[in-house]
């Protein structure tokens, strides 16, 4: 059974929340015509990360928890791709891209470690 420790105490959840804030701040400068396209898509994907971590922790089995953590991991890759697209479309500059990719990578590493932790507990 997953632990009763609150997900709000988890470093991976805290970092993914920070990433949500950073992405929202970044996308505020995107062209208004992108509001219902790339802006909306990247925001939905970024919000999915801490949301799926929280939902996974709230599940009744390690298997279910791991499934939600993998969904969060997929969303991280989706956000990474969308950041590259924003760069390709000249919505962000190289410095912004590199800064965001470092934050995405940090979050991905934390999530990977968390997945490994739960996989070992489920054995």
- CATH assignment of the domain containing 29: 1.20.1440.60
Of the candidates 96, 105, 52, the residue with the CA atom closest to the CA atom of residue 77: 105
Residue 83 lies in a domain: yes
Our count of domains for the chain comes to 1
Q: What's the pTM value of the predicted model, to 2 decimals?
A: 0.92
Tens of pLDDT, residue by residue, the chain (123 residues): 455 568 999 999 999 999 999 999 999 999 998 888 999 999 999 999 999 999 999 998 999 999 999 999 999 999 999 999 999 999 999 999 999 999 999 999 999 999 999 999 888
Structural domain boundaries enclosing 80: 7-121
Of the candidates 83, 76, 103, 70, the residue with the CA atom closest to the CA atom of residue 27: 83
Residue 36 lies in a domain: yes
């Amino acid at each position: 059974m997953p632990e009763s420790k609150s997900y709000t105490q988890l470093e991976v959840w805290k970092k993914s929340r920070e990433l949500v804030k950073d992405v929202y701040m970044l996308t505020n400068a995107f062209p208004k015509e992108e509001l219902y396209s790339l802006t909306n898509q990247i925001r939905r994907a970024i919000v999915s990360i801490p949301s799926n971590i929280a939902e996974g922790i709230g599940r009744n089995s390690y298997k279910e928890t791991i499934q939600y953590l993998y969904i969060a991991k997929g969303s991280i890759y989706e956000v990474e791709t969308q950041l590259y697209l924003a760069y390709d479309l000249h919505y962000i500059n190289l410095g912004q891209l590199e800064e965001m990719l470092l934050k995405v990578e940090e979050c991905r590493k934390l999530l990977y470690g968390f997945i490994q932790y739960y996989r070992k507990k489920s054995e």
